[in-house]
Chains A and B, each alone.
Chain A
Amino acid sequence: MTFLLIEQVLNGLQLGVMLFLISAGLTLVFGVMGLINLAHGSLYMVGAFAAAAVAAYTGSYLMGIIASMIAAAVAGVLIETLVIRRLYGRDHLDQVLATFALILIFSEGTRMVFGSFPLYLSIPALIAGPVTLPGGLQYPLFRLVLIAVGVAVAVGLYLLITRTRLGIQIQAGEADREMIDALGVDISKLYTFVFALGAGLAGLAGALVGTIQSVQVGMGEPVLITAFVVIVIGGIGSIRGAFVGALLVGLTDTLGAFLLPKATEVLFASADIGSVLSSMLIYILMAVVLVLRPTGLFGGTT
């Protein structure tokens, strides 16, 4: 039972760090530019397809991963300069409409290029298979690698935001857009960079998750909803909030789906109640957080 619980916690962490990679871009874009980007899930999908295509063509998984970030970032720059740039001053409804249209365009475009069949990536032999952890628990090495990559990106982002000139500009952009514009920072370049960064991370997440699951059209939409839950819990615009929120959501979702049916089976002799409850759990978590802290765990006091 202890082993099982540890394994489920690892599964929760793995889901959490992948959610973080997706949410980081979403929260930055929302925080810095005040933009609701529904097409963020499409960038996740673009990354996954780019990885699958390049890995199949070159035979190198690493090239696939690099391609996923580049392709998603390029797609990000394109939609930022062509579409989204016109939407910063508009209200959220216009942004939602335009970015929803982008979802449809990306989905159908991908379907035209790659078809309706899911693609499958293989885990490279070097990091495939299980490893035995101290204590004797076996766990897939690839999922451990995902956790490590996620934590490394989180640390890197934290350093970027707090220790570099660019990071300070991003923070300033969040606090007061007009002021840093007046101080001579090229806000439009900054926006494009932030957007590309967020898109690249989403693309990376798509490639990594696509490796263990499958790469298919529409894979981004369910993830997008969860990512919005994460950034609302964490506080919009906060990288630290996105990290904590993602881990909370990952662990709640995994452990809830595992433990709740068992609990209700003991209490009410029905595992179904638990299954139903567990699929609501992250939304209940979000509601509780919003009641206690309306701006999210690490949100500003607006």
Chain B
Amino acid sequence: MRLTPLAALIAATFTAQAALAESHGGTKVGLLSTLSGGGAGLGVDVRDGFLLAIEQSGRSDIEVIVVDDQRKPDVAVRAAEKLIQSDKVDVLTGIIFSNLAMAVVPSTVAQGKFYLSPNAGPSALAGAGCNKNYFNVAWQNDTLHEAAGAQANNEGFKNSFILAPNYPAGIDALTGYKRMFKGEIAEELTTKLGQTDYASEIAQIRASGADSVFFFLPGGMGISFLKQYADSGVDVPLIGAAFSFDQGILGAVGEAALGVKNTAQWSKDLDNAANVAFVASFAEKYGRLPSLYASQGFDTALLLISALDKAPVSDADAFRTALEAADFASTRGEFKFNTNHHPIQTIYVREVIKEGDIYTNKIIGTAMTDATDVYAADCKM
């Protein structure tokens, strides 16, 4: 019976802690993102967009804890555990890379926490592996690449060389492109995630006789590839989703990307009130143009705030219903959730242009309206 006082003490401590958390009354958000290395540009943009929306809302009851995952799954898993177990966050968000999302999201939602994805949308989490507490505010991975395939058809390409890194989003990208592209595939290559030398792949493109190159190489990978491609003298036209031609990449690549068409759910020249205000305030606060990733981070925070306005996270069912309503003014205009908590949205075609000294994108058309993903049918919540 000597244990009893100790047990009582432990119980008391726990109760006190729980009471403390209750009395705090605020919402704790863990933002776990890639903030160093070759993928840092993406994570920094998501973070900055997210924090900008929180700041503009003027709400002091939302506490955001920012953590770097270094694009390493083991680091991400440990950091997520710490955020959930010791920081006691209510909502987790921020992951850029799908292999990290696959390592973190299932255990997060299994512990009853909410996960709002500002970027990664692996197919495994959109279909049979969907979860009522997992919301994707960006896209299912395939979607933008499907639009790229449709765009390749429109441009009359018949024979594409396709390449992407060997990780869940890379495989989804190739699958998405092939689903819509009606021409032949000259060759399909998967590269290492984080690869920086593409000499061998470029040699194979040169020899392939393809009339177009579809590639998905986000962040630093895309910068290396585009610079080396421009230097190689290969002149097969490039096509891809926005990731390979986004603001962060264009700054480093410059002229080599000029005129390339790419597909996205957002562009800085999208004409709606929410987006005009977002672009102006982002540029003012951070001194650079927002990217696709920044808009996704911003929208994710808007969604969170819109749901918190209706219900606290502690009332999980009401909070979930509020999230499902997606009652916020998205920077991309129309936005609603499909049955698998992934977006139904319009995908645009953009072209890389030069505005003054700055390389950026301009919308030139629409690739798909009310685009959804094929995996929603397999999702049983």
A residues in contact (CB < 8 Å) with B = 1, 3-4, 7-8, 11, 14-15, 111, 116-118, 120, 123, 128-130, 138-140, 142-143, 212-214, 216-218, 254, 257-258, 275, 279
Q: How many residues of B contact A (CB 8 A)?
A: 28
Q: Does the CB pair A120–B252 fall under 8 Å?
A: yes
Q: Does the CB pair B233–A130 fall under 8 Å?
A: yes
**Given the complex, which residues of A lie within 8 Å of B223, measured CB to CB?**
118, 120, 214
Q: Does the CB pair B200–A8 fall under 8 Å?
A: yes
Q: Given A120-B227, A142-B231: A7 and B38 within 8 A (CB)?
A: no
Checking A8, A11, A130 against B231 with a beta-carbon cut-off of 8 angstroms, the contacting residue is A130
Interface mask (B227-250 → A, CB under 8 Å = 1, otherwise 0): 110011110000000000000000
Question: B190 at the A/B interface (Cβ < 8 Å)?
Answer: yes
Closest to A18 in B: B197
Question: B206 at the A/B interface (Cβ < 8 Å)?
Answer: yes
Q: Does the CB pair B197–A8 fall under 8 Å?
A: no
Closest Cβ of chain A to B370, distance in Å, is: 36
**Given the complex, which residues of B lie within 8 Å of A213, measured CB to CB?**
196-197, 224
B residues in contact (CB < 8 Å) with A = 35-38, 40-41, 44, 166, 190, 192, 196-197, 199-200, 203-204, 206-207, 220, 223-224, 227-228, 231-234, 252
Instruction: Provide the bound-state CA to CA distance between A152 and B118, in Å.
Output: 50
Instruction: Provide the bound-state CA to CA distance between A258 and B198, in Å.
Output: 12
**Given the complex, which residues of B lie within 8 Å of A117, measured CB to CB?**
40-41, 44
Closest Cβ of chain A to B54, distance in Å, is: 22
Instruction: Provide the bound-state CA to CA distance between A229 and B37, in Å.
Output: 25
Q: Does the CB pair A116–B40 fall under 8 Å?
A: yes
Most A CB within 10 A of own CB, among B206, B231, B233: B231
Checking B37, B192, B207 against A217 with a beta-carbon cut-off of 8 angstroms, the contacting residue is B37
Closest to A130 in B: B233
Q: Does the CB pair A116–B35 fall under 8 Å?
A: yes
Checking B35, B37, B233 against A216 with a beta-carbon cut-off of 8 angstroms, the contacting residue is B37
21 pairs of residues in contact across A and B, judged by CB atoms under 8 Å: A4-B204, A4-B207, A7-B203, A7-B206, A7-B207, A11-B199, A11-B203, A111-B36, A118-B38, A118-B220, A123-B231, A129-B231, A130-B232, A138-B206, A138-B233, A212-B224, A212-B228, A212-B231, A214-B224, A216-B220, A254-B200
Closest Cβ of chain A to B210, distance in Å, is: 13
Q: Does the CB pair B203–A217 fall under 8 Å?
A: no
**Given the complex, which residues of A lie within 8 Å of B190, measured CB to CB?**
275
Q: Does the CB pair A140–B206 fall under 8 Å?
A: no
Q: Does the CB pair A258–B204 fall under 8 Å?
A: yes
Q: Does the CB pair A143–B199 fall under 8 Å?
A: yes
Closest Cβ of chain A to B204, distance in Å, is: 7
Q: Does the CB pair A140–B233 fall under 8 Å?
A: yes
Q: Does the CB pair A214–B196 fall under 8 Å?
A: yes
**Given the complex, which residues of B lie within 8 Å of A14, measured CB to CB?**
199
Q: Given A118-B220, A129-B231, A130-B231: A4 and B203 within 8 A (CB)?
A: yes
- Return the 7 tightest CB-CB contacts between A and B, nearest first: A130-B233, A4-B207, A116-B36, A213-B196, A7-B203, A11-B199, A138-B233
Checking B37, B204, B207, B252 against A218 with a beta-carbon cut-off of 8 angstroms, the contacting residue is B37
Instruction: Provide the bound-state CA to CA distance between A213 and B221, in Å.
Output: 9
Instruction: Provide the bound-state CA to CA distance between A237 and B104, in Å.
Output: 46
Q: Does the CB pair B197–A15 fall under 8 Å?
A: yes
**Given the complex, which residues of B lie within 8 Å of A120, measured CB to CB?**
223, 227, 252
Closest Cβ of chain B to A67, distance in Å, is: 21
Checking B166, B192, B203 against A8 with a beta-carbon cut-off of 8 angstroms, the contacting residue is B203
Instruction: Provide the bound-state CA to CA distance between A153 and B229, in Å.
Output: 28
**Given the complex, which residues of A lie within 8 Å of B232, measured CB to CB?**
130, 138-140
**Given the complex, which residues of B lie within 8 Å of A128, measured CB to CB?**
231
**Given the complex, which residues of B lie within 8 Å of A118, measured CB to CB?**
37-38, 40, 220, 223
Most B CB within 10 A of own CB, among A118, A129, A214, A217: A118
Most B CB within 10 A of own CB, among A7, A14, A143, A279: A7
Instruction: Provide the bound-state CA to CA distance between A129 and B232, in Å.
Output: 6
Closest Cβ of chain A to B188, distance in Å, is: 8
Closest to A276 in B: B166
Closest Cβ of chain A to B295, distance in Å, is: 20
Closest to A123 in B: B231
Instruction: Provide the bound-state CA to CA distance between A3 and B232, in Å.
Output: 14
User: Could you list 11 further interchain pairs (A-B, Cβ under 8 angstroms) beyond the known A118-B37, A123-B231, A217-B36?
Assistant: A1-B207, A11-B199, A15-B197, A117-B44, A118-B38, A129-B231, A130-B232, A138-B232, A216-B220, A254-B199, A258-B200
Q: Does the CB pair B233–A212 fall under 8 Å?
A: no
**Given the complex, which residues of B lie within 8 Å of A11, measured CB to CB?**
199-200, 203
Closest Cβ of chain A to B15, distance in Å, is: 41
Closest Cβ of chain B to A30, distance in Å, is: 26
Closest Cβ of chain B to A69, distance in Å, is: 22
Instruction: Provide the bound-state CA to CA distance between A275 and B228, in Å.
Output: 22
Instruction: Provide the bound-state CA to CA distance between A294 and B206, in Å.
Output: 41
Q: Given A4-B206, A120-B252: A216 and B231 within 8 A (CB)?
A: no
Instruction: Provide the bound-state CA to CA distance between A8 and B220, in Å.
Output: 23
Instruction: Provide the bound-state CA to CA distance between A258 and B192, in Å.
Output: 13
**Given the complex, which residues of A lie within 8 Å of B204, measured CB to CB?**
4, 258
